[in-house]
């Protein structure tokens, strides 16, 4: 079995640093939205979101990723900064009161949201646009000296369903080239290299079959010289493959077994962080994958 090497890093966050590479870290998803593709509406109330967040921490999440706007493709209007903060800040404050040491990221592409969340105690900004959708985001993150997750996204949400396909042999070179450009732009804006983690953006502007070359060659991202986060949890490309077994698309909440397969593949390819909805199951899969990694040395 081929197990990719995983370089070690010290990820510089707002108030602390986090060692990456010795073991795989889990990022638990907390969608405080009515319309996320996987669990929209389930945790929309602050009370339900807090309960969910604390449960993810108890199940082994190393980081909580709080989001107040869905990136599911559709025709709904964008969420304003005010709406996003009204959703996120009460939950963020409640989590930090219950668990003062909790490590939290804010899933947003808006600089104003990032600034308010950092002021309220967030350590990391997770920008699915890779600093492309708000020209102030790079400068804001540089000023705030927070941790940053830069995701590769091809186009905007309303463009994903109509984009021209990418030949499979071009998927990985495209993502590598554009992630390198976005990381270099972040550095030019003043973000510290040690603050950056890169995410290839499964499903974000990639059609169903275009995600598998990216997962199969995830280790190629190490050539960029940054830690890698993988987020395949419950994604539609997994559901499309399961449809070949079941004869119909599998809804997101029934894609957990497929998610664990993709999580295991990502860890063996050297991913440092895994973003998931079901932390308990992922923690077990990651433990086995990390044990395989250790035995392969």
Domain locations in the chain?
A: 20-232+271-277
Task: Name the phi and psi angles at 105, rounded to 5.
Answer: -115, 155
- Tell me the per-residue pLDDT of 240-264, one tens digit each, with 9 for 90 and over: 999 999 888 888 989 999 999 999 9
Q: What angle do CA 191, 193, 195 make, to 5 degrees?
A: 70
Tens digits of residue pLDDT in 82-101: 999 999 999 999 999 999 99
- Among candidate residues 87, 275, 283, 293, the one labeled active-site is 275
Active site residue 280: no
Longest dimension (CA), the chain: 51
Averaged pLDDT, 29-50: 75
Dump pLDDT digits (tens) for 102-117: 999 999 999 999 999 9
Domain 20-232+271-277 fold is TIM Barrel (3.20.20)
State how far the Cα of 251 lies from the Cα of 239, in Å rounded to an integer: 7
State residue 38's pLDDT score.
Answer: 55
Q: What is the pLDDT of residue 55?
A: 97
> Is residue 275 flagged as an active site residue?
yes
Over range 155-161, report the average pLDDT.
73
- Region 28-40: what's the mean pLDDT? 73
pTM: 0.95
Q: Is 167 helix (H, G, I), strand (E, B) or coil?
A: coil
Asked if residue 142 lies in contact with residue 190, where contact means CB atoms within 8 angstroms, the answer is yes
Give the chain's count of helices (H) and strands (E). 9, 10
Annotated catalytic residue within 235, 255, 283, 293 = 235
**pLDDT tens, 199-244?**
999 999 888 899 999 999 999 999 999 999 999 999 999 999 999 9
């Amino acid at each position: 079995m081929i197990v990719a090497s995983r370089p070690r890093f010290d990820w510089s966050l707002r108030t602390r640093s986090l060692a990456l590479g010795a073991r795989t870290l889990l990022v638990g998803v907390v969608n405080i939205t009515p319309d996320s593709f996987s669990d929209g509406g389930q945790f929309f109330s602050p009370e339900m979101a807090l309960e969910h967040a604390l449960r993810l921490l108890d199940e082994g999440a190393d980081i909580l990723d709080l989001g107040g706007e869905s990136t599911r493709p559709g025709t709904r209007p964008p969420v304003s900064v005010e709406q996003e903060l009204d959703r996120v800040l009460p939950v963020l404050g409640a989590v930090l009161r219950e668990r003062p040491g909790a490590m939290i990221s804010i899933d947003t592409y808006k600089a104003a949201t990032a600034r308010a969340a950092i002021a309220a105690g967030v350590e990391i900004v997770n920008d699915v646009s890779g600093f492309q959708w708000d020209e102030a985001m790079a400068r804001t993150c540089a000023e705030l000296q927070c941790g940053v997750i830069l995701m590769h996204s091809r186009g905007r949400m309303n463009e994903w369903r109509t984009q021209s396909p990418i030949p499979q042999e071009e998927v990985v070179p495209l993502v590598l080239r554009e992630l390198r450009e976005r990381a270099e732009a972040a550095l030019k804006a003043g973000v510290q290299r040690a603050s950056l983690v890169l995410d290839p953006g499964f499903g974000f502007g990639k059609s169903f079959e275009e995600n598998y070359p990216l997962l199969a060659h995830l280790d190629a991202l190490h050539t960029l010289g940054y830690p890698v986060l993988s987020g395949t949890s419950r994604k539609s490309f997994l559901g499309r493959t399961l449809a070949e077994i079941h004869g119909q698309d599998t809804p997101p909440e029934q894609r957990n077994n497929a998610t664990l397969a993709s999580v295991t593949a990502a860890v063996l390819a050297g991913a440092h962080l895994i973003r998931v909805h079901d932390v308990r199951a992922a923690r077990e899969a990651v433990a086995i994958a990390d044990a395989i990694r250790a035995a392969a040395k």
